[in-house]
């Protein structure tokens, strides 16, 4: 599939640009619109694939209760296999970072050719105190009551006010995009289901596997993130052998929305390195093929 829009399994997928693939996975309560300020820059030299996770954005919102991180990862894996992506840069934000972690470990075991580098932006990774709105959504009766009574735009604006360091940077377009799915049939039920499934029951076993990740990993973290503390990123950087942590000052939970220019400048650096490594690997492979057996 070339540039355009499609539904693959339960997921809405957008593709633009040409070149080595970049797959972006959004966070809890968001959609692929979260990448709108950086997609065009990435697509200048890459094929950029953005997905709406199951239950979010324009993706399907079935009432099947299957919203765990592993089930989300399986849905994204179906996209990767359907599009036959290889040597990709995998980027995940927040909950999407947790999905990306699961995908990276699975790909390294099952199809290492598909993954070149992992980028995690303010990613979940360890047990932590959940944001208060997620805690409320997880409560059996309170979550449904809140979602049933409060206007969608008010809910989104309230959450974004804690996600951003500079609340003046919250744009009406983002509020409307994130509120729209909550007005759709099944949108609020899907958000509650995802909140209740956000903590993997085998989290301790997953933590032990972080040290097995071999791919280069870039961690981006907002110093003033009130949802995923900076300590989480520092702990993850220490656990993954080939990880590099960059901290953005005066930035909250969504650097690609709040500081898109700074975010894209950091991403361009690692993409240039990855593309150079990829060209070098191709050159070595071609030289080996030309040389033939001795």
DSSP β-bridge partners for residue 94: none
Q: For the segment 108-167, what is each residue's pLDDT rounded down to a tens digit? A: 999 999 999 999 999 999 999 999 999 999 998 888 888 888 999 999 999 999 999 999
How confident is the model at residue 148, as a pLDDT? Answer: 87
Looking at residue 273, what is its pLDDT? 73
The reported pTM is: 0.92
In this predicted structure, what is the pLDDT of residue 280?
A: 53
CA 51 – CA 34 distance, rounded (Å): 11
Asked whether the predicted pLDDT for residue 2 surpasses 70, the reply is no
Q: Kindly state the tokens that stand for 108.
A: 């390294």
Question: Mean pLDDT throughout 233-248?
Answer: 97
pLDDT band (50, 70, 90) for residue 293? very low
Write down the pLDDT at residue 196. 95
**Residue keyed to tokens 């997880």:** 138
Q: Is the pLDDT of residue 234 over 60?
A: yes
For 93-112, what is the mean pLDDT? Answer: 97
**Residue 276 above 90 pLDDT?**
no
The DSSP letter of residue 184 is S
pLDDT of residue 294: 36
For the chain, the structural domain boundaries read 4-130+201-291
pLDDT digit string (tens) for 280-290? 544 444 444 44
- Interval 29-63: pLDDT, tens: 999 999 999 999 999 999 999 999 999 999 999 99
Q: What is the pLDDT of residue 141?
A: 86
pLDDT at 176 exceeding the cut of 70: yes
Q: Please, are residues 215 and 108 in contact by the beta-carbon 8 Å criterion?
A: yes
Residue 275 is predicted with a pLDDT of 61
- Average pLDDT value for the chain: 92
3-state secondary structure 217-271: EEEEEECCCCCCCHHHHHHHHHHCCCEEEEEECCCCCCHHHHCHHHHHHHHHHHH
Give pLDDT, residue 23. 98
Kindly tell me the sign of the dihedral angle through the C-alpha atoms of 22, 193, 55, 171.
negative
Going by pLDDT thresholds of 50, 70 and 90, the confidence category of residue 292 is: very low
Q: What's the CATH number for 4-130+201-291? A: 3.40.50.1820
- Average pLDDT of 68-79? 98
| Torsion angles phi and psi, residue 106, rounded to 5 | -70, -45
Strand intervals (E) in the chain: 4-8, 11-16, 21-25, 47-52, 88-93, 115-121, 217-222, 243-248
């Amino acid at each position: 599939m070339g540039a355009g829009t499609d539904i693959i399994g339960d997921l809405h997928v957008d593709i633009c640009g040409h070149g080595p693939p970049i797959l972006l996975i959004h966070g809890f309560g968001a959609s692929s619109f979260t990448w709108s300020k950086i997609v065009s820059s990435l697509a200048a030299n890459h094929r950029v694939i953005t997905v709406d996770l199951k239950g979010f954005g324009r993706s399907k919102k079935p009432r099947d209760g299957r919203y765990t991180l592993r089930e989300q990862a399986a849905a994204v894996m179906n996209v990767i296999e359907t599009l036959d992506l290889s040597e990709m840069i995998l980027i995940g934000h927040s909950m999407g970072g947790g999905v990306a972690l699961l995908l990276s470990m699975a790909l390294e075991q099952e199809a290492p050719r598909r993954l070149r580098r992992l980028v995690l932006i303010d990613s979940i990774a360890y047990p932590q105190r959940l944001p208060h709105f997620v805690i409320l959504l997880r409560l059996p009766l309170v979550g449904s009551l809140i979602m049933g009574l409060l206007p969608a735009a008010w809910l989104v604006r309230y959450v974004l006010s804690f996600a951003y360091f500079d609340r003046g940077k919250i744009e009406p377009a983002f509020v409307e995009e994130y509120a729209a799915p909550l007005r759709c049939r099944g949108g609020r039920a899907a958000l509650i289901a995802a909140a209740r499934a956000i903590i993997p029951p085998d989290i301790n076993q997953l933590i032990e596997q972080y040290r097995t990740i071999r791919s280069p990993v870039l961690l981006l973290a907002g110093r003033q993130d009130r949802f995923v503390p900076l300590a989480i990123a520092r702990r993850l950087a220490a656990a993954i052998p080939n990880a590099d942590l960059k901290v953005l000052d005066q930035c909250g939970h969504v650097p690609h929305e709040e500081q898109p220019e700074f975010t894209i400048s950091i991403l361009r650096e690692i993409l240039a390195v990855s593309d150079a490594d990829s060209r070098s690997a191709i050159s070595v492979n071609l030289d080996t093929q030309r040389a033939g057996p001795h």
